[in-house]
Amino acid sequence: MNIDSSTKNDIAIVAITRRGVALGQRLKMLLPGSHLYLPEKFAVGPNADEHPFSLPAKEVIREAFRRYRYLVLIMAVGIAVRLVAPELGDKHQDPGVVVVDDASSFSVSLLSGHIGGANELTKKIASLIGAHPVVTTASEVSETISVDMLGREFGWEVEDDAHVKAASAALVNGEPVGIYQDAGERNWWLETKPLMGNVHIFSTIKALRQANSQAALIITDRILDKECQALLPIHTVIYRPKSLVIGIGCNRGTKATEIEKAVTRLLSEHGLSINSIRNIATIDIKRNEPGLLDFARKSRLPIEYFDKETLGKSEFPSSPSAAALKYVGTPTVCEAAALLSSDNSLIVPKVSFNRMVTVAVARFAFNGERKKRGKLFLVGIGPGDPEQMTFKAREAINHSEVVVGYKTYIKLIEPYLCRKEVIATGMETEVERVKMAISLARKGRKVSLVSSGDTGIYGMAGLVGEMLREQSGEDLDIEVVPGVPLLAASAALLGSPISGDFVSISLSDYLVPWEEISLRLNLAMQGNLVIVLYNPRSQRRQRQLTEAREIFLRYRSPSTPVGIVTNAYRQKQEVVVTDLEHMLDYRIGMNTTVIIGNSTTFTLSNWMVTPRGYQTKYSLSQEPV
């Protein structure tokens, strides 16, 4: 069997049992770009993303191990270990391997947890299928820094990985480790996870030297001289953040080699690392300059362009260039471009090389000047049972640092809150919850504000919109994640009571006057609509449901079907089909949804059905032809 090498960056899912194949097919739909490998006897029909193989699975694992970035093995861990063991090579080359049992109980990071990405894929799969993630790498278990992954999400590079293993051991074993940083992102460690007691941050390299640390992590874009390096701990790991913006001006026709020579020489003379270049900045008339484009492609650097008017308005330290003003219409190119792109100050003013290339260097603004952008997820968690929660809702919660919600709803999703900051409040604190969620997102945190059912149906989404209308400031990144609404869940338990037109009305007069609620009930009855009642009764609100029933009886027969659902898809669920005459004989509270049928609603055994009109248009009693 051959696996197309063009799929080497995708995910190979390998299943060996019938039950595992069913789970594999589900995962294939949930993981874009994945391919399923399954025994021939379980293959049904042609499918471009499914690849049958002959048992045993040894050969397919050997091929997939070399060709895919990730392997998801749906089988017992022991079997998986025996299959991948002969293929193990180097952690920088081996794929990330995740093992999932065919009962969907556990998602296990087996191989290349950090560098191979298996830890993150393990958590993602667990979130998607409701499994428990199992991650055993030392830094994950002890909640400390992962030396080989530090800053990876920002594009940081380890200059020399010779001491990564020893520094990792020092961290995990509780030995003193010093950190010094003078460039790059400052938010690499979450505020909610304090550094372990053996890790200390120093404001100068000199202070770090004097602390007798066993290992050091240095985050800098500067080249440390030999004397400085000699005084650091033996096990020192140097990270190169993407912090330098290179402003470039050049004559038409300048070759890429000349530009590369100028940039390399300037950085070397000023003790700056070429591995810390973030991007190039220049004037927009250079969009098609072959030499500049070739240099950028070779160096894998993006280019940011500015028009001459914007460059001309920028303040810059050097004297204006008569040549630049004459030929491109602005008194400066490299310095102004570097300043605008970095939103910070120059660290190397303009230097001209052979009157062909000018180069300036700025350090990109981090930590406050360009703060981390947060996100607010408005998540509907469904009626209560985890099986009724959407995959997207689980994924949003999984990606969040903070989860905010009413304490009862928080209790329902506890299995998904591992290592999250949780803010749970009681009844009548909705405004405070929303304020906290918005504030945290504005501070750069990823936040899930959860609501029962659907967040847009008597949930928090509307209140968030009202709150933002009253606030000033920059737009907030918000994603609304829909959930199974309580009215749909209750209707499913009753059969089909809202298959025609219906209206939902809350009987709570906490926010809406009873006079207005009463008017809505009367109008809905006049329209012969099915009515779904939210918040029908509480300990403090008893009369509203009684008065609502009196309104219903003005328009409906006492025999009109009524569905009463309490704790839909939660513990102590109760489902009752009764009628208007007897509806108050049953227990009804805040966790109850009541559905009042219209004039055509009927009962069928324990079902409640509202016809949509097919009977009048078609003959439903005829036998099929």
Query: Domain boundary at 315, 342, 363, which?
Result: 363
Do residues 293 and 260 lie in contact, with contact meaning Cβ atoms separated by under 8 Å? Answer: no
Q: Please indicate, yes or no, if residue 621 is contained in any of the structural domains.
A: no
| DSSP H helical ranges for 422-503 | 430-442, 461-470, 486-494
Return the higher-pLDDT residue of 283 and 614. Answer: 283
> 56 preceded by cis ω (within 30°)?
yes
pLDDT at 320 over 90: no
Does residue 132 share a domain with residue 19?
Answer: yes
Between 227 and 9, the more confident residue is 227
DSSP string, 258-272: HHHHHHHHHHHHTTB
For residue 3, pLDDT beyond 50: no
501 and 573 in a single domain? The answer is: yes
Residue 374 pLDDT: 82
Q: Where residue 458 sits, what CATH number does that domain have? A: 3.40.1010.10
Nearest to 474 by CA among 399, 403, 370: 370
Chain-centre distance of CA 267, in angstroms? 37
- When comparing pLDDT for 192 and 72, which is higher? 72
Strand order of the sheet with strand 215-219?
157-158, 235-240, 215-219, 177-181, 199-202
Question: The domain containing residue 172 runs over which residues?
Answer: 152-240
Under the banding of pLDDT at 50, 70 and 90, the label for residue 119 is confident
129 and 167, same domain (yes or no): no
Average pLDDT over residues 343-362: 91
214-244 residue pLDDT tens: 899 999 999 988 878 777 888 999 999 999 9
Residue 458: DSSP 8-state: S
More confident of the two residues 561 and 208:
561
Place of tokens 């990071």: 109
In a domain, 476, yes or no: yes
Residues 445 and 328 in one domain: no
Condensed to tens digits (0 to 9), the pLDDT of residues 83-112 reads 999 998 876 688 999 999 988 889 999 998
Domain co-membership, 191 together with 279:
no
Q: Three-class SS of residue 35? A: strand
Whether 436 and 318 share a structural domain: no
pLDDT in tens, 357-403: 999 999 998 754 444 568 999 999 999 888 888 988 988 998 888 99
Q: Indicate which CATH number applies to the domain containing 514.
A: 3.30.950.10
- Which of 308, 338, 363 terminates a domain? The answer is 363
Asked if residue 245 lies in contact with residue 338, where contact means CB atoms within 8 angstroms, the answer is yes
Of residues 552 and 2, more confidence is placed in 552
Measure the N-to-C terminal CA separation of the chain; round to a whole number of Å: 48
Q: Work out the mean pLDDT of the chain and round it to a whole number.
A: 87
C-beta of residue 31 within 8 angstroms of C-beta of residue 7: no
Cα separations (Å) of 325 from 292, 320, 620? Answer: 20, 8, 84
Tokens of 35: 């391919």
- Mean pLDDT calculated for residue range 314-318: 73
Which CATH number fits the domain that encloses residue 211? Answer: 3.40.1390
Q: Which helix (H) or strand (E) holds 410?
A: helix 407-412
In this structure, the answer to whether residues 21 and 132 fall within a common structural domain is: yes
The residue from 136, 166, 185 where one domain ends is 136
Q: What is the pLDDT of residue 228?
A: 81
- Do 443 and 381 reside in the same domain of the chain? yes
Residues 255, 218 share a domain: no
Cα distances (angstroms) measured from residue 259 to each of 271, 283, 284? 18, 15, 17
**Closest Cα partner for 576 from 594, 560, 589?**
594
Neighbours of 154 (CB within 10 A): 15
Q: The domain that contains 356 carries what CATH number?
A: 3.30.420.180
Alpha-carbon gap, residue 398 to 420, rounded angstroms: 9
Shared domain for 391 and 479, answered yes or no, is yes
E-strand ranges in 137-231 read 157-158, 177-181, 199-202, 215-219
Report strand pairing: 177-181 vs 199-202: parallel
- Rounded CA-CA distance 99/81 in Å is 9
The answer to whether 94 and 88 have CB atoms below 8 angstroms apart is yes
Kindly state the percentage of the chain with pLDDT values over 90.
51
What was the pLDDT predicted at 143? 55
Instruction: Give which of 470, 467, 489 is closest to 478, Cα–Cα.
Output: 467
The reply to whether 552 falls in a domain is yes
Q: Is residue 182 part of a domain?
A: yes
CA distance 18 to 534: 43
Predicted pLDDT at 144:
61
Are residue 16 and residue 77 in the same domain, yes or no?
yes
Assigned domain for 167 exists: yes
pLDDT in tens, 500-558: 999 999 999 989 999 999 999 999 999 999 999 999 999 889 999 999 999 999 999 99
Name residue, tokens 């770090």.
208
Name the nearest CA neighbour of 200 among 228, 233, 223.
233
- Total number of domains in the chain: 5
Number of H helices, E strands in the chain: 21, 30
368 in any annotated domain: no
Question: Angle of helix 18-30 relative to helix 118-129, nearest 10 degrees?
Answer: 100
Using 50, 70 and 90 to split pLDDT, how confident is the model at 608? very high
Kindly calculate the radius of gyration of the chain based on its CA atoms and give it in whole angstroms.
Answer: 32
CB atoms under 10 Å from CB of 531, counted, come to 24
The pTM is what?
A: 0.54
Sheet holding 602-604, edge to edge: 495-496, 607-609, 602-604
Whole-angstrom Cα distance, residue 442 to residue 372? 9
Same domain (yes/no): 130, 13:
yes
Position 108 in a domain? yes
- 8 A C-beta contact, residue 451 and residue 459: yes
In a domain, 623, yes or no: no
Residue 419 pLDDT > 70, yes or no? no
Predicted confidence (pLDDT) at residue 474 exceeds the cutoff of 70: no
In the chain, the amino acid numbered 401 is: E
Question: In this predicted model, what pLDDT tens digit does every residue of 566-596 receive, in sequence order?
Answer: 999 998 999 999 999 999 999 999 999 999 9
User: Average pLDDT, stretch 463-484?
Assistant: 85
Residue range 141-192, pLDDT digits in tens: 455 677 877 877 788 989 888 888 888 888 878 888 889 998 888 767 654 3
pLDDT at 432 over 60: yes
